[in-house]
Amino acid sequence: MATTQLTASSVTVSARNLASFEGLRPSTGKFSSLGTLKSGALTHRSFKGLVVKAAGVVAAKYTLIKPLGDRVLVKIKEAEQKTESGILLLPTAQSKPQGGEVVAVGKGKKIGKTKLESSVKTGAQVIYSKYAGTEVEFNDSNHLILKEDDIVGILETDDIKDLKPLNDTVFIKVAKAEEKTAGGLWLTQASKEKKPSIGTVIAVGPGTLDEEGNKKPLPVAPGNTVLYSNYTGNDFNGSDGTNYIAMRVSDVMAVLS
């Protein structure tokens, strides 16, 4: 029976076939390898639920993007192309950046009768949540339009340990995995690699406002040892190899003592 092999280079979806928006030029997104399919098995129904994510391209005739409300425009930091030892990384090995420079901010938002201006300013270097916002190509650079709540914090140095969290974000140093069980048995490498859910709070955001405009302080403080939910937050590696995680305070379950 005849078969058809589809690869990343053989299936291309044009933005003309997707919903169009004023000011966006067509761009293309490619599927990763789809494996081997029987001839004739590929139909419109086969792609139900399959999402193609490609950056929209803002036409050259537009020279300004002005975010609305509490949205922020961030110029995405370029991915590292070399390792610390100078080895060139293939595009597939380059980690997707989670940071960049704020180039424009909206006028803020209202909570009850209180108007809040953006807590980030143009020029600030910020770290944002994975999968946040909408990516656009503007002035030959990749940008991200996202809500301020999706910004994890401000980073003024090259080391993530210096992150200054925003809003209700908690920044935690992840506890190292135990080498032995309580009974003294050595743990296997697979057991040690299980994601710990305990860590020490390094820094916390200023909190959020209630509908009366009053600041609500967070229930945890730097120095607290906390238990947090698994599979939550954003993971980071420090320059010394230390693991950190940033999450909303609602994902912190308990303070340990």
- The tokens for 216 are 């609500």
pLDDT tens digits, one per residue of 208-240: 877 777 788 899 999 999 999 888 899 999 888
- The tokens for 134 are 């909408």
* Residue where a domain stops, chosen among 155, 190, 205: 155
Q: Which residue has the higher pLDDT, 77 or 14?
A: 77
Instruction: Let me know whether 144 and 174 are in one domain.
Output: no
Instruction: Let me know whether 206 and 245 are in one domain.
Output: yes
For 239, residues 6+ apart whose C-beta sits below 8 A from its C-beta are 158, 159, 160, 161
For residue 74, give the H/E element and its range: strand 71-76
* Residue where a domain stops, chosen among 105, 131, 155: 155
Q: Which residue has the higher pLDDT, 87 or 253?
A: 253
Instruction: Let me know whether 174 and 251 are in one domain.
Output: yes
3-state secondary structure of 202: strand
Q: Which residue has the higher pLDDT, 246 or 82?
A: 246
Q: Is residue 2 in a domain?
A: no
Q: What is the pLDDT of residue 19?
A: 43
CATH of the domain at 247: 2.30.33.40
3-state secondary structure of 34: coil
pLDDT band for 131, please (50, 70, 90 cuts).
Answer: confident
pLDDT band for 203, please (50, 70, 90 cuts).
Answer: very high
Closest CA to 47 of 11, 81, 19: 11
C-alpha triplet 193, 196, 199: angle, nearest 5°: 140
Instruction: Let me know whether 67 and 105 are in one domain.
Output: yes
DSSP β-ladder status, 134-138 and 56-58: parallel
Taking 80 as the threshold, does the pLDDT of residue 93 lie above it? no
For 22, residues 6+ apart whose C-beta sits below 8 A from its C-beta are none
Taking 70 as the threshold, does the pLDDT of residue 180 lie above it? no
> Which residues span the domain enclosing 122?
63-79+95-155
User: For the residues 3-17, what does the mean pLDDT come to?
Assistant: 42
Instruction: Let me know whether 151 and 191 are in one domain.
Output: no
